[in-house]
Amino acid sequence: MGRRLPGERIDARELARRYGTSITPVREALQMLHQEGLVTIKPHVGYLVTQVTLKQLRDLMELREILELAAVERAASRITSQQLEELEEIYAGYKGDDDESYARYTAENRTFHCAIAQATGNQELTDVLGHLHDRLARFMVLRHAGETMQYSHARIVEALRARRADEACRAMRDELIETHEIVMERVIQEQGDYWALGGRKD
């Protein structure tokens, strides 16, 4: 569907025409997004991108920090050599500093963090963190240079390989703080008019 602003109406029939499909699979997809809280259904209006206040966004990012730190702390004592190699393979591909690369980094960043959660052996934690990443996805267009993300993730993996939970948590926290600052700054700059309406900053 491309990038859409919170509160923007989604025309299901227009999407069906654009992608050359019938209306049924489009509505099914929108229903799934509704169940995940990403789309709101308003009577006599249709589908809308769910509106999120700045407080809700901050709350989601705070929850992400809590879960990510819990995951990396537990992963330090449980991660396998194969899982460490898989993490290294993910961040080894962070090359390029254009829009296409940034979109790829965003997707691979989710894969990296969910792989750490998977290494805890706790499937419930993995599922919850994955769902949280999905809820934050529309805000998480990472514009880090590839080398910056590579260094950040290498720090985390190095600490995990050494079984140093404290260092892994420190490296994870540093990355999350930087990412959250970038996200908040970008959201306010790009969607300033939206956040200024109707008390949406609460």
pLDDT tens digits for 152-185? 999 999 999 999 999 999 999 999 998 888 888 8
The predicted pLDDT at position 199 comes to: 40
Phi, psi of 46 (to 5 degrees): 120, -145
Determine whether domain 9-51 maps to CATH 1.10.10.10. yes
Tokens at residue 169, please? 């948590």
Location of each CATH 1.10.10.10 domain in the chain = 9-51
Q: What stretches of 36-164 show up as alpha helix (H) in DSSP?
A: 54-78, 81-92, 99-119, 123-136, 146-161
Would you call 75 helix, strand, or coil by DSSP?
Answer: helix
From first to last of the 202 residues of the chain, give the pLDDT tens digit.
Answer: 555 666 788 888 888 888 888 889 888 888 887 777 778 888 878 888 777 778 888 899 999 999 999 999 999 999 999 999 999 999 887 766 655 656 777 788 899 999 999 999 999 999 999 999 988 877 776 555 567 888 999 999 999 999 999 999 999 999 999 888 888 887 777 665 555 444 444 5
What is the Cα 181 distance to its own chain's centre?
Answer: 14
CATH architecture of 54-190: Up-down Bundle (1.20)
**Predicted TM-score (pTM) of this structure:** 0.74
